[in-house]
Each structure stands twice: as C-alpha cells, then as structure tokens.
A = this chain, B = another copy of it.
Amino acid sequence: MRDTYHERLDAVTDQLVDMTRIVGSMMSRATQALLYSELQTAESVIAADDDVDDANREIEQRATDLIALQQPVATDLRIVVGSLRMSATLERMGDLARHVAKVARLRYPEIAVPEELHEVFREMGSLAERMIEMCGSVIADKDVSLALQIEQLDDRMDDLHRQLFTTLVSPEWKHSVEQSVDITLLSRYYERFADHAVSIAKRVVYLVTGERFDELPSVP
C-alpha cells in the first residue's frame, strides 16, 4: 500500500516533468518555425498542444484518484495540490508555444520577424527553453537555488520585451502595422511564457520551504 502510494505520488511528479519536456520542445520548434519559416515545424507544434492538454487532464485525474483513494496529508497533499496548479500553468505555456507557431504559419512563406530582430527573438527563444528545462529540474529535484535562477532569466526576458517595444515605437521602425502587431504579440507570448516559468519556480519554493517566493531574498 505504501509503495503504491508513493508510486502514485511520483507518477504525478513524473508526468509534470514530462509536460515540461513537451512544452520545451514545442517552444524550441516554435521559435525555429518562426525564424526560418518552417511550415511543417509550425504544424507539429500546433498538433503537439493536444498532448499537453491530455497530460493536464491526466494529471487532474491522477491527483483526484490519489486524494480519494489514499488521502494524503501535510506535505504530500501540498505536493498534489501544487501539481494541479503547475499542470494548469504548463498547459498555458503549451498554448503560448502554439500561439507563436500560429503566427509563423499565418505568415508562411514570409517571415513574421524582420531580419534585424532575429537575434532578439533567438535569445528570447533560448531563454524560454532554458527556463522550462530548469522548471523540469526544479520539479524533479525540488532544487530551490535553481528556482531562484529562473527569476534571473526572467529579468533578462523582461529586458528584451521592453527593448522590442522601444524598437517598435522608435522613428527607425519602418515596417508595416501588420508586422508591428505580430511583434507585439510574439514578444508578449515569450514574456508570458517566462512569467509562467517563474510561477512554477515559486510554487516549488513554496512546497519546499513553506515560504512564498516574494519573501525570499533574491540571488545576487
């Protein structure tokens, strides 16, 4: 009974980590589809979102069964409840990767992002990938120090997000309104993705320490 109990609890955590892998792969491919105008890559991201939705539903089912059958308390219960919250967050991160892929598909065979902004989006994509990968490690290993690093990467993402808006409203910006709209939304998708990664990190810190992240000292 005890084994089954912990196996079930671990299965929920394992599936969360799986979700981070799927979502990370989606965001990586979405960035590639966006910058290299790859239609099939974009389609694969859009299709993969169903897997994330399925995983989210499965985690809810597993968590509900686990609560009903094995009545976890204290830390275990907090882990189960936290997993429900985190899987909902990961589901939204999958949506954001899908949104990026949809912009890529919409503009195909054109490229939504003007040449001079490719480097910024490449960095945003790379940050997003690192952050979700770190989320996977944070969930798997309950690593609080790594959770704090995720917030540092988010600061960089925010900088890039602001930088893009500054570029858009500068007199040098000569592109169409359509491109302005695309860049506005794309930038927001990456920025939101990063925010969600931070919320997962905060959640794990709370699980481990019992303290809200906001009250913790930030890493230097």
Contact = CB atoms under 8 A, between A and B. Distances in A.
Interface of A: 60, 63-64, 67-68, 71, 73-74, 77-78, 81, 84-85, 88, 165, 168-169, 173, 176-178, 180-181, 184-185, 188
A115 B130 CA distance: 43
A212 to B, nearest CB: 9
Contacts of A63: 81
Most buried by B among A60, A68, A173: A68
Contact of A181 (B73, B169, B176): B169
A173 B177 contact: yes
B81 A60 contact: yes
B77 A67 contact: yes
A168 B179 CA distance: 11
22 contacts: A60-B81, A60-B85, A63-B81, A64-B77, A64-B78, A64-B81, A67-B77, A67-B81, A68-B74, A84-B84, A84-B85, A168-B177, A169-B176, A169-B178, A169-B181, A177-B177, A177-B180, A180-B181, A180-B184, A181-B184, A184-B185, A185-B188
